[in-house]
Amino acid sequence: MNKELIIDIYGRVQGVNFRGNTARTARSLGLKGYTENKSDGRVYIVAQGDTSKLEEFLSWCQKGVFPAKVTGMKYEWKKMKKEYKDFSVKRPKA
């Protein structure tokens, strides 16, 4: 059964390719959704897919990869309202 996971990642997660690595990891797990930087310094993620794959992804998000340093994370399981076609990196609006 597909679910949706909303994740906020805190720490040194902007300017260190965290979104790119997040997207690669999500795609490798067959997840859909998106990731984007927020003005308060956190990274926001919407991920959809199989529960076991989402749990694996959540575990990866807690660690990230160097040079990112995750210091905190909040997440919430949701029912899917909108289904995404792929996993993308949203760019800031100019």
Q: Which of 12, 37, 42, 91 is catalytic?
A: 37
Assess whether 2 carries a catalytic annotation: no
Hey, which residues does 88 pair with through a beta bridge?
34
Assess whether 19 carries a catalytic annotation: yes
Residues 78, 5: contact at Cβ < 8 Å?
yes
Place of tokens 């067959």: 30
Residue 26 backbone dihedrals phi, psi, to 5 degrees: -60, -45
Q: Which of 17, 19, 27, 91 is catalytic?
A: 19
Catalytic residues: 19, 37
